[in-house]
């Protein structure tokens, strides 16, 4: 896949894409990532007249166009959970957590997985529509925050907090959602936005800032993937979303390694889904994004990268 910015106006950016079969696409991408127009010269105009694989190649070009605009111009054209840079930032932030912090954020999810293999209490009851408990997919949203001390922003943070009438030391202590008022949450979010604006992007170090409750995905009676969504701690999009099958999680340290591999698989999925070969650290095999496990099973142009014993072949066909 190759891309080139060919124009920009008040509505968005035009991108010329050459896909892996040599077909040229012109894609208009809005600054928010909305596809405003797409023309190409290698496939039928009517999606119903294309093969399923050709429809997926058209979708690859759209995903790549949005990614190209993000990388070249910096616009937030991809959902963070589908952006390999955000997913990898979350992966690295998880590796940097202390054992205590890792257990605080991810211990409930680990126990949820253990409940499929051991006699332990399940933190989240399975939805009534679940017919096969081992067919569920557990999802957990992860939100990044700024490591203030590691970014060298402590003095600026104290001054800015005082300007907002906030007590900096109190705000750095972890609290449950119910212990923070809506007004305080809004003030702290404004504080965080202003602090980031004051900092040099190259100096920022990110850390895990919050996680959601455990979402439960399962096939419903109609064979569709339904999700019982838990509460979100923040009113913004998450930066990555774990999607785990109910496998044995192992020890706490083994579970951290498992999450590292899982997020590498997700980064792989993002690149493969754009028609790109992943960078070497992400040429891995295993379950990443649920939607890509379905795509790998469905489309002939993809190898079965989600299955350790599948037909892996080349990453891109």
What are the structural domain ranges in the chain? 2-78, 82-141+205-317, 148-203
Q: Provide the pLDDT for residue 174.
A: 43
CB 150 within 8 A of CB 132: no
CB 277 within 8 A of CB 316: yes
3-class SS at 3?
Answer: strand
CB 171 within 8 A of CB 188: yes
pLDDT in tens, the chain (317 residues): 999 999 999 999 999 999 999 999 999 999 999 999 999 999 999 999 999 999 999 999 999 999 999 999 999 999 999 999 999 999 999 999 999 999 999 999 999 999 999 999 999 999 998 999 999 999 999 999 876 666 666 777 677 677 767 665 654 444 434 444 555 556 656 666 666 565 555 556 889 999 999 999 999 888 889 999 999 988 899 999 999 999 999 999 999 999 999 999 999 999 999 999 999 999 999 999 999 999 999 999 999 999 876 566 665 54
CB 246 within 8 A of CB 138: yes
What is the distance between the alpha carbons of residues 224 and 218, in angstroms, rounded to a whole number?
8
Region of residue 223 (phi > 0: left; psi between -120 and 50: alpha; otherwise: beta): left
What dihedral angle (degrees, nearest 10) is formed by the CA atoms of 143, 63, 246, 207? -20
Q: Provide the pLDDT for residue 169.
A: 63
3-class SS at 285?
Answer: coil
Cα dihedral 225, 79, 59, 263 sign: negative
Q: Provide the pLDDT for residue 175.
A: 40
Spatial CA neighbour of 266 closest among 208, 306, 237, 230: 306
DSSP 219-244: E-TTS-EEEE----SSSS--SEEEEE
Cβ of 47: how many Cβ atoms within 10 Å?
Answer: 12
What is the distance between the alpha carbons of residues 91 and 121, in angstroms, rounded to a whole number?
28
Query: What's the full length of the chain, in residues?
Result: 317
What is the distance between the alpha carbons of residues 196 and 61, in angstroms, rounded to a whole number?
33
3-class SS at 216?
Answer: strand
Cα dihedral 267, 7, 4, 40 sign: positive
* Locus of tokens 């009534």: 128
The model carries a pTM of: 0.86
Q: Provide the pLDDT for residue 185.
A: 54
Spatial CA neighbour of 64 closest among 302, 271, 254, 220: 271
R_g over Cα of the chain: 21
């Amino acid at each position: 896949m190759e891309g080139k910015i060919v124009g920009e106006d008040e509505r968005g950016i035009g991108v010329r894409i050459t896909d892996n079969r040599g077909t040229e696409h012109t894609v208009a991408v809005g600054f928010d990532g909305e596809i405003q127009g797409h023309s190409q010269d290698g496939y039928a105009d009517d999606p119903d007249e294309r093969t399923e694989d050709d429809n997926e190649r058209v979708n690859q070009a759209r995903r790549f166009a949005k990614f190209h605009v993000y990388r070249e111009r910096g616009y937030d054209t991809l959902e963070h959970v589908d952006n390999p840079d955000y997913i990898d930032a979350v992966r690295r932030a998880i590796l940097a957590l202390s054992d205590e912090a890792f257990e605080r954020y991810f211990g409930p999810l680990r126990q949820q997985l253990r409940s499929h293999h051991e006699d332990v209490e399940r933190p989240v009851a399975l939805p009534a529509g679940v017919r096969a408990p081992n067919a569920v997919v557990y999802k957990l949203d992860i939100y990044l925050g700024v490591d203030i001390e590691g970014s060298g922003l402590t003095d600026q943070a104290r001054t800015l907090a005082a300007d907002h009438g906030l007590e900096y030391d109190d705000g750095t202590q972890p609290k449950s959602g119910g212990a923070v008022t809506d007004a305080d949450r809004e003030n702290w979010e404004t504080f965080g936005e202003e602090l980031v604006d004051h900092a040099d992007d190259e100096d920022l170090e990110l850390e895990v800032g919050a996680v959601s409750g455990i979402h439960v995905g399962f096939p419903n009676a109609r064979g569709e993937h339904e999700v019982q969504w838990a509460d979100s701690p923040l009113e913004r999009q998450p930066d990555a979303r774990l999607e785990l099958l109910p496998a044995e999680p192992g020890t706490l340290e083994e579970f951290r390694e498992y999450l590292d591999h899982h997020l590498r698989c997700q980064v792989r999925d993002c690149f493969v889904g754009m028609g790109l070969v992943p960078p070497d650290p992400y040429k891995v095999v295993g379950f990443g994004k649920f939607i890509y496990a379905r795509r790998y099973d469905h489309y002939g142009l993809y190898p079965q990268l989600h299955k350790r014993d599948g037909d892996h072949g080349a990453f891109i066909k």
